[in-house]
Structure 1
């Protein structure tokens, strides 16, 4: 395995298609029940491609880190600096290819996201949102030192408000100091 990590500012918009495909696959596997089936089964790759092309074309205030194994995209993390006055920078996405889970890629991406926060943000705090149903990811983030500090209703594309009756659908996991992940 020749695992390498690189920032998307060197990747260019050509990587948007690969990131979109991995992002769509991850959502289809893990967001079923929170996002509508019609949305997940639709042309999600094209929708995500448009999002990632836009992000890569205007990367100011963000950093995207790609994990590759001999040129194959196996994971990525996207950070939005200083997104929240209280919690700091948002890890807006962290996805690892399904067949590469539990191999340390996610932990390395999270550590590199933390390093990016320390390098590019004005504050040291870092957080992300995780779906309530994604207990495996919650366990991973807790093992990496995150604390659940808040719950909220999910309002994603394709979200189904009827599924939110009685319980919030997402949790804010936070690290008060991104240096703890280094």
Structure 2
């Protein structure tokens, strides 16, 4: 199957349901074991829909949400590159959400970065992370950026390390929405950092 053309744009309120569905599906695939089955198999979609409806209905100057869209059925032609800014897509295949200047020490937070299962390893995650870094460089008070990743999610850790992220410390995940019972015990998480996103952008 050929690769579809991918384009990137800022999210709008009408995207909330699609972003929530992708977010919920990603958590079900990658957070199993750390998050309670009852939550992943039950309330996670409703919970994510509530979150994204709120976020995208009232975006702030300190928050950036970027979507990757794929033009369904389109073949990548000669010279085409996945991640090129061409056309308008017909389906959301990934997104990244950045909170600018979230932490005085660590800088801006990449709060979410997810790519739909069938489009992973096609350059979409790299395109989203690069655009997050550009937003931090252009709009943040500092060029530092960080994120948290579950300790069990080694594939994500490998991806961030390949893009210059360095593990800085270990912590414990908070229950989604701070609602008790949504976690299995105290799953560990790792902070990955980019002290200067310009290094990532030069890579």
TM-score with structure 2 setting the length:
0.83
Match of 1:112 among 131, 145, 163: 131
Q: Name the larger-Rg structure.
A: 2
Q: CA deviation at 1:160?
A: 2.6
Superposed, 1:1-182 pairs within 5 Å as 1-8=4-11, 12-60=12-60, 61-70=62-71, 71-157=90-176, 158-161=182-185, 164=186, 169-182=188-201
Contact 1:110 1:181 in 2 (8 A): no
What is the number of equivalent residue pairs in this alignment? 174
Structure 2 SS opposite 1:42? helix
Q: CA deviation at 1:156?
A: 2.4
Give the aligned CA root-mean-square deviation in angstroms.
1.0
Distance 1:89 1:159 in 2: 26
Structure 2 SS opposite 1:43? helix
Deviation >4 Å, runs of 4+ = none
What 5-or-longer segments of structure 1 have no aligned partner?
none
Distance 2:139 2:175 in 1: 27
What 5-or-longer segments of structure 2 have no aligned partner?
72-89, 177-181
TM-score with structure 1 setting the length:
0.93
Distance 1:114 1:180 in 2: 10
